[in-house]
Amino acid sequence: MAEQHNKIYYADENITIRDMQQEDAAVITAEEIAQGWNASVDKYEMRLRDRQEKNASVLVAEYQGRVAGYINVYPVSEWGAYAGKGYPEIVDFGVLEKYRRHGIGSKLMDVAEQIAGKYSDRVCLGVGLHSGYGSAQRMYVKRGYIPDGSGVWYDDKVCEPNAACRNDDDLVLYFMKELESGN
């Protein structure tokens, strides 16, 4: 029998952070396509499989009862600068454009950091470098994330000086944050 994932991590009068359900994947994909993103349900189905197989936390945010965003926490980073070093990683975080500026992203990050804090006193993440990631870049810095110093990564490898790369979703900079006790 499949394990049930119905936990609610946070709730107030507008925002609920809960485990992602299978049906959420199609909703998020349709919304991302509607806002002009190159989206596929496969990404969310992969995250749900990862939760089943690797104990990743796969979460969604609802705003006034509608799916509005998502975030994932992997207990041990599997990619980039922190792969295999024992730190939890926040992966694939987003808030649908029509729901931004309501505090949803901050609540998703609060919950993700609390989950990460169960595994380590630090958490890492990678953020894309093109302008579509601008609000996330600013949020991470405001929340205390610091670049790790390994430089820019492309396609899960360090982009060596003067090397060619594309400014797409695979061009990232890795950050680390020291979690406060109690997180």
Q: So what's the pLDDT on residue 28?
A: 94
Q: How far apart are CA 12 and CA 15, in angstroms?
A: 5
> For 81-129, what is each residue's pLDDT tens digit?
999 899 999 999 999 999 999 999 999 999 999 999 999 999 999 999 9
Higher pLDDT, 163 or 4: 163
pTM score of the predicted model: 0.91
3-state secondary structure of 17: strand
* In this structure, CATH architecture of domain 8-178: 3-Layer(aba) Sandwich (3.40)
- Does the pLDDT value for residue 1 go beyond 50? no
Q: So what's the pLDDT on residue 54?
A: 72
- Does the pLDDT value for residue 178 go beyond 80? yes
Strand order in the sheet with 66-74: 8-11, 15-19, 57-63, 66-74, 89-95, 122-128, 171-178, 146-154, 157-158
3-state secondary structure of 175: strand
> For 4-28, what is each residue's pLDDT tens digit?
678 999 999 999 999 999 999 999 9
Q: What percent of the chain has pLDDT over 70?
A: 96
Q: So what's the pLDDT on residue 72?
A: 97
